Structure 1
Amino acid sequence: MKVFFELNGQPRSIRVPNRKVKAETVARPKADPSNPAHIGAPMPGVVASVAVTQGQAVKQGDMLLTIEAMKMETGIHADRDGTVKKLHVTPGAQLDAKDLMIEIE
């Protein structure tokens, strides 16, 4: 909502946010650091690409996905052998630090 008023003889306008409107941000689950099956985001950023699919077998060192932050891409690799149990992100998704990205079983 915009409010128009006059201050010291000068017309002014300001934008006043409606506090009754709820934010439409998606609350992502956080990775449990004590659970070795959880792979969390190391930093805030955007998912640039996802290299695996749900149910895919991965070996230690395989590329899982890439995160873009501050115009730099960071590759996230599997830290152990396993199967991708669940993907929690898609390309273009906004992440906060420690958001759960992938579960490996």
Structure 2
Amino acid sequence: IEIGEGKNILIKYIDMSDPDAEGFRTLTFEINGAVREVKVLDQNLEVKSDRKLKADKNNPFHLGSSIPGTISKVFVKEGDAVKKNQPLLTVEAMKMETSIVAKEDGVIDKIYAVEGEKVSQGDLLVSFVKE
């Protein structure tokens, strides 16, 4: 590739890895003699791994599941105003229910889970914004 007068880049394709569990392949190139790797999502594959968003533990407006289980009840909807410690939904695991409560006052921005859905620990369930 000529990028300017007297400036050329030589790119040589070397290898492509098998897809990982999340559907990413590592492509290996040699660029002007230096080896570079790039991870690329193979969109032609059907990925069977969990691709759910994870809650940011440092963000008080991200609420994640504290346990793996099934969403048994959702008490709020998008746009609802909520108060600190207000129950938002419950997760059931082995006949035990755990309430997911608001950490701060705010307004529900998005609900990422529906009743009956299976969730893993750390999956993002609800995000909200400060009032």
Aligned: 1:44 with 2:68: yes
Q: Secondary structure at the match of 2:100?
A: strand
**1:39-84 deviation per Cα after TM superposition (whole angstroms, max 9, x unaligned):** 0100100000100000100011211000001110111111110000
The answer for the alignment partner of 1:53 in structure 2 is: 77
> Take 1:73 and 1:51, find their aligned partners in 2: how far apart are those partners?
14
Count of aligned pairs = 85
Aligned: 1:93 with 2:128: no
The answer for the alignment partner of 2:9 in structure 1 is: none
> Take 1:35 and 1:77, find their aligned partners in 2: how far apart are those partners?
14
List alignment gaps of at least 5 residues for structure 1: 1-20
Q: Which has the larger radius of gyration?
A: 2
Higher relative contact order (CA 8 A, sep 6+): 1
Report runs of 4+ in structure 1 exceeding 3 Å deviation. 21-26
Q: How high is the TM-score relative to the length of structure 2? A: 0.60
Q: How high is the TM-score relative to the length of structure 1? A: 0.74
Counterparts of residues 3-42 of structure 1 (less than 5 Å): 22=46, 24=48, 27-42=51-66
List alignment gaps of at least 5 residues for structure 2: 1-44
Identity fraction in percent = 39
